Structure 1
Amino acid sequence: MLSVAVQTGAASADSNAAAAHQRPIPLVGKVDTGALPAKLTPSQRAELIRDANATKADTAKDLGLGAKEKLVVKDVVQDRDGTAHTRYERTYDGLPVLGGDLVVDTAKSGKTNGVTRAVSTKLRNVDTTATVKPAAAEKKALSLAADAGSKKTTADRAPRKVVWMAQGKPTLAYETVVGGLQDDGTPNQLHVVTDAATGKKIYQWQAIENATGTGNTRYSGTVSLSTSGSGSSYSLNDTVRGGHKTYNLNHGTSGTGSLFTDSDNVWGDGTNSNTQTAAADAHYGAAETWDFYKNTFGRNGIRGDGVAAYSRVHYGNSYVNAFWDDSCFCMTYGDGSGNNDPLTALDVAGHEMSHGVTAATAGLNYSGESGGLNEATSDIFGTGVEWYANNSSDKGDYLIGEKIDINGDGTPLRYMDQPSKDGGSADYWSSGVGNEDVHYSSGVANHFFYLLSEGSGSKVINGVSYNSPTSDGLPVTGIGRDKALQIWYKALTEQFTSTTNYASARTGTLAAAAALYGSSSAEYKGVENAWAGVNVGSRDGGGDPGDPGDPGNGTFENSNNVNIPDGYGSAASNISVTGISGAAPSNLQVSVDIRHTYRGDLVVDLVAPNGAYARLKDSSPTDSADNVTGTWTVDASSVAAAGTWKLRVQDVYTGDTGYINDWKLVFP
């Protein structure tokens, strides 16, 4: 047990620091099964959503939302230990708030454990009277779509007034959705947000999400398909998996098409000239994707509600692409160059349908760094589907679209071990990565996932050679693909929001790893090191962006600023202690400098490498002074000195902000 006392002369510190408590130390590598998703029936999920709707007004009040703000329940995910993760959208004075989404984590006891917000800005005093007319907003959106190469553009619906908040500052705006076709023939759903006071464009994103340039597929060999019918009449209707149906567009570009039927329940002949062959691949890919999510994460269908999507094949003429469309809740495949090679490879199916999972959960904006994370999520889970299927004709690998030969020379579309091998994708994060095409900026997260799964360096896996470098030249040890998938899924469904960028993705995956395996586990450190390997954060949880270590004389300090999220947020600044063997001293000195406008909001803990912690300061709603500065003496003799120590700061009220400015450990 760690015990703590305030040293004489400590300034601006809580003089009633409580004795610390030690929590159980999780076994390294052992999953906390209570943090895994519960397998809910549709009725159980519906009941959770009803309960959340019944209490959403109280939740809004607890979160400190304004009188004009209301919460809209989008989804509820529940862990096996009863912890609920409720995802909300928000309205202001009746208008949708884009970027106002948030996730509230609630323990089984009803206590709020934390809140993850798309943006931390408060929403106050927005004038909802527009200066610009809706027609002008529509005209602007159509012009932007035409400039982007869209064809046959029309407004799918009249511009709607919204409050745009995704970039921090709440602004009254119009959202216009432009239909028609993109320049390559893909359906268009361009969302354009324009300022309702000036008419200028604020933001735009494409809601049709696709894997650009896929083609020349091979097939998955002889497989079992779940169909409907009997005797001499069968259809591609998978009633085992929510009623997933596969349709033939017969080179059309609209509508549902015709459901595939057959007289002998034998579909296709393995050649592109038989129209059923592409349908068999698509139907198989949808089934494997459904099973992957259900058996790996306990997710029942794309939206988690047991309802199937559907597939459409033979879209357009010589269409070299495939795409997910959330408005029809469907997956669509083109036939490739010359209509000779339907784009129905297994990892393509898993990739595209995973866009539906992202839309149903985090809703990652398809632009900037969040767009790269959106694409990478589909690559990650598409890869997961391929490994899950365990198909001898299409073995699991860390290559994207390796069967489609888009380049004409047998090379894959994308590489996860070293993304830049495709000639455009980013291996590592940089300040400009969000300006790249989302299919290229996704390389950062793809590379992270490979490092987390398999580690760095050269190796051969399933007959494929890989060589994965790191941004800092230091090695990364993988934790295994299965654990990496669990961490990414938990972060996506419980931590990520519409505006998540790479820095916050690191925070979200660390939170997921801590919940699943413990914050002192090899898996947690693996996440830290894999992100450091792609230039996002530092190793072993060091401060952002560095871990300065020991400047000498037994003093270890971290002076990198770490922002503290307002209102049920948590921040951590880490120090790596090296060169000291044996137990920590009974008089460990902890000096803290936290800048904050209302220190009574803060709970401050020192967390030892083994997960034990000492409470340095508790919250107090009546302590309105600024800042927390001072020195505490901690009896840390029960734990080892070497390892990563953390200063953990939790903000348990809303309305004030601050950051960790500096802290140090002194080993006498």
Structure 2
Amino acid sequence: MGLRKTLIAAAVLVLAGQAAASSDHVMAEKAVFSPQENARLLSTLNGERSKHGLDADHGYAIIQQHPGVKGTAITRLNHTYKGVRIFESESVVVTDDGGNIVSETIDERRNAVAGKRLDVTPVLSSKEAIAGVVRTVAPAGEHLVKPTAELILFPLVKSARVAGAESKAEEDLNAVDLEDVVEGYQLAYLVQTRMDKADKPAFYNTIVSASDGAVLKQWDMMQSVAGTGKSLYSGTVPLETTLSGSTYKLLDTTRGTGGTYGGMAITNSNHTANAGSIYTNSTNIWGDGAAYIPGGSTTNANGQTAAVDAMWGLKNTYDMLKNVMGWLSLNGNNTATSIAVHTNTNYDNAYYMDSCKCMFIGDGGSMFKPLASVDVIAHEMGHGVTAATSNLTYSGESGGLNESASDINGEATEAYARAGGTGNVLPWPSANDWATGKEIAKNGQPLRWLWKPSKDGKSPDAWSSTLKNLNVHYSSGPNNRMFYFLAKGSNSSSSSEYYSKYLTKAPLAMTGIGLDKAYRIWFKALTTKFTASTNYANARLKVLQAAQELYGTNSAEAKAVQRAYAAINVGADIAE
């Protein structure tokens, strides 16, 4: 018998043949450029090298292309020197249906190369670079994904004070008082290793000198929420499944194409670090609505509950992105994704892996219940959107913005799901709790409070020059607070958790613009303006540009962006 898609509820079967409603509010899609169109774009950009002080050794390499709004397309390009990528030096180009450039956002770390002649011949081989990293990270580990080593020009960057800020006390610095200055470059390898180390993931990106193998920089790539059909969290929910013969699969082929499974799928890790196989059942009724019993079956009704929650979260994230933003799946090109549940044993974490565009969800241990609440699933899927677009480097301030982007995606999806999971706008007033992971915490304390990040005792409420030294789950705090103020506004009372001492203009309590507008502005900046090296000061400029393009140069929305960033010590406050 052929495959047949079926709408189900976890406890109530929906009539066979009922069609899933599709949105007519999706962005107009622009097909990926043809080779001829790409050649034209590259020719245009190369023809403008001289105005940037660059010679013929400098070039561009296309990274990603996505559909944009109103018949536009978004192309992300790396800057290259003699064919070698200059790390974190990029352009984001928006083009119209005719292939004409509408806008170009440039984050360049290539200028220090201009006029110089650099040798791009490595002494160390890529295999030697990988072997050195493996010896350091997990010599006895198992590769979950084949390791890679990419030859790059790595910028040597220092932080410098801008004119006028030279004599400011450290505690008085604003984010815009500092700038990154490239002092030079080193030929290096970007080594990416994704390993299983004693049934725990060991995911690292490492910059290795191509001359002597020295580690120049390394950061943890565990893009996780935790850091250290009767669903459990959402009651009885409808799911789309697939019937193959007489067996039902947790495979939704109505959302996403291609990928590993040809649709959105939930798989069973069964207490390993591997994805496992797709959940199957003899009936189309899934789960028991109860938390997983440690040590029990991962395939019976109790073991299925985590899979139900995962599919519900995946479905709502996909639908929110599609119906509200016109963004198809994680990469904008509708590539299907998947989630593996019951990862490892007593595992207090959840994470995203870009190589498979998939997520892994633990059952929880001492701190958490199963990590499959809607906001956690949406958080992990948010990493997929970021990886496919700005690809914010997962360390320093850019890493904090990466984590914040996922927290913001979690709140937007939670609001959408709790309001019914339909429509093309995010609800106002919003139904989300503005607290990441509150439902999964055994002690009822969320992982992060967006309105007052410092409630966790580790995250700051505002930018400081030391922010870049924090773990990315904590350096995300100020931007989370910015987004809360942008959507909901602040309070003028110094005793309030919603107060900011940096808001000094009238009114002292800034006015929020609502979750829908705030998310649209943020999403536009993230997907069309941010690049890998974007920091807090740069983010403010790009989010402001997005607001001005969407709502007008002097609009209330643009003013709200300036005030929301001022509230976290990024830029100056203005009057409304």
Q: What TM-score does the superposition give when structure 2 sets the normalisation length? A: 0.78
Q: Partner amino acid for 2:141?
A: K
Q: Partner amino acid for 1:191?
A: N
Q: Partner amino acid for 2:285?
A: V
Indicate the residue corresponding to 1:582 in structure 2: none
The one-character-per-residue Cα deviations of 1:461-482 (angstroms, maximum 9, x if unpaired) are xxxxx83121425422111111
Question: Aligned to 2:254, what secondary structure does the other structure show?
Answer: helix
Within-5 A mapping of 1:483-498: 483-498=517-532
Within-5 A mapping of 1:456-535: 456-457=490-491, 467-473=497-503, 474-535=508-569
Contact 1:488 1:509 in 2 (8 A): yes
Indicate the residue corresponding to 1:47 in structure 2: 33
Q: Partner amino acid for 1:103?
A: V
Question: Aligned to 2:239, what secondary structure does the other structure show?
Answer: coil
Contact 2:321 2:329 in 1 (8 A): yes
The one-character-per-residue Cα deviations of 1:17-36 (angstroms, maximum 9, x if unpaired) are xxxxxxxxxxxxxxxxxxxx
Contact 2:250 2:278 in 1 (8 A): yes
Contact 1:153 1:178 in 2 (8 A): no
Question: Aligned to 2:55, what secondary structure does the other structure show?
Answer: coil
- 1: distance between equivalents of 2:223 and 2:474? 14
Contact 1:49 1:76 in 2 (8 A): no
Within-5 A mapping of 1:328-343: 328-337=356-365, 341-343=369-371
Q: CA deviation at 1:348?
A: 0.2
The one-character-per-residue Cα deviations of 1:555-604 (angstroms, maximum 9, x if unpaired) are xxxxxxxxxxxxxxxxxxxxx8xxxxxxxxxxxxxxxxxxxxxxxxxxxx
Contact 1:418 1:469 in 2 (8 A): no
- 1: distance between equivalents of 2:280 and 2:127? 46
Indicate the residue corresponding to 2:306 in structure 1: 278
Indicate the residue corresponding to 2:266 in structure 1: 246
Q: CA deviation at 1:230?
A: 6.7
Say if 1:293 and 1:111 are closer, same or farther in 2 by CA, change over 3 A.
Answer: closer
Q: CA deviation at 1:143?
A: 5.1
Q: CA deviation at 1:153?
A: 6.8
Structure 2 residue 467 is the aligned partner of structure 1 residue 433? yes
Match of 1:403 among 439, 464, 477: 439
Stretch deviating more after TM superposition (106-115 or 275-284)? 106-115
- 2: distance between equivalents of 1:38 and 1:389? 18
Indicate the residue corresponding to 1:353 in structure 2: 381
- 2: distance between equivalents of 1:158 and 1:113? 33
Say if 1:471 and 1:49 are closer, same or farther in 2 by CA, change over 3 A.
Answer: farther
Indicate the residue corresponding to 2:152 in structure 1: 162
Say if 1:258 and 1:80 are closer, same or farther in 2 by CA, change over 3 A.
Answer: closer
- 2: distance between equivalents of 1:79 and 1:166? 34
- 1: distance between equivalents of 2:60 and 2:345? 45
Structure 2 residue 225 is the aligned partner of structure 1 residue 211? yes
Q: Partner amino acid for 1:212?
A: A
Q: CA deviation at 1:63?
A: 3.7
Question: Aligned to 1:225, what secondary structure does the other structure show?
Answer: strand
Match of 1:172 among 174, 179, 187: 187
- 2: distance between equivalents of 1:496 and 1:340? 33
- 1: distance between equivalents of 2:195 and 2:354? 16
Contact 1:350 1:385 in 2 (8 A): yes
Indicate the residue corresponding to 2:278 in structure 1: 259
Match of 1:234 among 245, 248, 252: 248
Say if 1:68 and 1:485 are closer, same or farther in 2 by CA, change over 3 A.
Answer: same
Q: Partner amino acid for 2:64?
A: D
Say if 1:119 and 1:105 are closer, same or farther in 2 by CA, change over 3 A.
Answer: farther
Question: Aligned to 1:226, what secondary structure does the other structure show?
Answer: strand
Stretch deviating more after TM superposition (92-101 or 381-390)? 92-101
- 2: distance between equivalents of 1:222 and 1:373? 34
Q: CA deviation at 1:134?
A: 4.7
Indicate the residue corresponding to 1:115 in structure 2: 105
Structure 2 residue 48 is the aligned partner of structure 1 residue 62? yes
Q: Partner amino acid for 2:238?
A: S
RMSD (Å), alpha carbons: 3.0
Stretch deviating more after TM superposition (522-531 or 329-338)? 329-338
- 2: distance between equivalents of 1:49 and 1:470? 51
Contact 1:134 1:159 in 2 (8 A): yes
The one-character-per-residue Cα deviations of 1:140-173 (angstroms, maximum 9, x if unpaired) are 4235436xxx962769436442222484333211
Indicate the residue corresponding to 2:82 in structure 1: 93
- 1: distance between equivalents of 2:197 and 2:556? 46
Say if 1:195 and 1:493 are closer, same or farther in 2 by CA, change over 3 A.
Answer: same
The one-character-per-residue Cα deviations of 1:400-448 (angstroms, maximum 9, x if unpaired) are 101011xx43121110010000111110000000100000000010000
Q: Partner amino acid for 1:121?
A: N
Contact 1:317 1:339 in 2 (8 A): no
Contact 2:367 2:443 in 1 (8 A): no
Contact 2:66 2:331 in 1 (8 A): no
- 1: distance between equivalents of 2:119 and 2:88? 18
Question: Aligned to 1:468, what secondary structure does the other structure show?
Answer: coil
- 1: distance between equivalents of 2:232 and 2:492? 28
Within-5 A mapping of 1:314-463: 314-337=342-365, 341-390=369-418, 395-405=431-441, 408-457=442-491
Question: Aligned to 2:195, what secondary structure does the other structure show?
Answer: coil
Gaps of 5+ in 2: 1-24, 158-181, 257-262, 294-301, 422-429
- 2: distance between equivalents of 1:499 and 1:229? 45
- 2: distance between equivalents of 1:401 and 1:287? 18
Q: Partner amino acid for 1:400?
A: T
Say if 1:295 and 1:392 are closer, same or farther in 2 by CA, change over 3 A.
Answer: closer
Q: CA deviation at 1:396?
A: 1.5
Contact 2:224 2:380 in 1 (8 A): yes
The structure with the larger Rg is 1
Indicate the residue corresponding to 2:17 in structure 1: none
Q: CA deviation at 1:76?
A: 3.5
Indicate the residue corresponding to 2:163 in structure 1: none
- 2: distance between equivalents of 1:422 and 1:233? 46
Question: Aligned to 1:39, what secondary structure does the other structure show?
Answer: coil
Q: Partner amino acid for 2:407?
A: D
Q: Partner amino acid for 2:354?
A: D
- 2: distance between equivalents of 1:38 and 1:170? 43
Indicate the residue corresponding to 1:560 in structure 2: none
Contact 1:48 1:76 in 2 (8 A): no
Indicate the residue corresponding to 1:102 in structure 2: 91
- 2: distance between equivalents of 1:166 and 1:39? 40
- 2: distance between equivalents of 1:194 and 1:339? 36
Give the count of matched residue pairs: 490
- 2: distance between equivalents of 1:79 and 1:191? 30
Question: Aligned to 2:47, what secondary structure does the other structure show?
Answer: helix
Question: Aligned to 2:201, what secondary structure does the other structure show?
Answer: coil
- 1: distance between equivalents of 2:380 and 2:517? 22
- 2: distance between equivalents of 1:481 and 1:182? 41
Q: Which has the higher contact order (CA 8 A, sep 6+)?
A: 1
The one-character-per-residue Cα deviations of 1:157-194 (angstroms, maximum 9, x if unpaired) are 364422224843332112222332368x5422311112
- 2: distance between equivalents of 1:445 and 1:470? 13
Contact 2:86 2:110 in 1 (8 A): no
Q: What TM-score does the superposition give when structure 1 sets the normalisation length? A: 0.68
Q: CA deviation at 1:101?
A: 2.1
Question: Aligned to 1:403, what secondary structure does the other structure show?
Answer: coil
Q: CA deviation at 1:397?
A: 1.5
Q: Percent sequence identity over matched residues?
A: 38
- 1: distance between equivalents of 2:211 and 2:559? 48
- 2: distance between equivalents of 1:289 and 1:458? 34
- 2: distance between equivalents of 1:418 and 1:186? 32
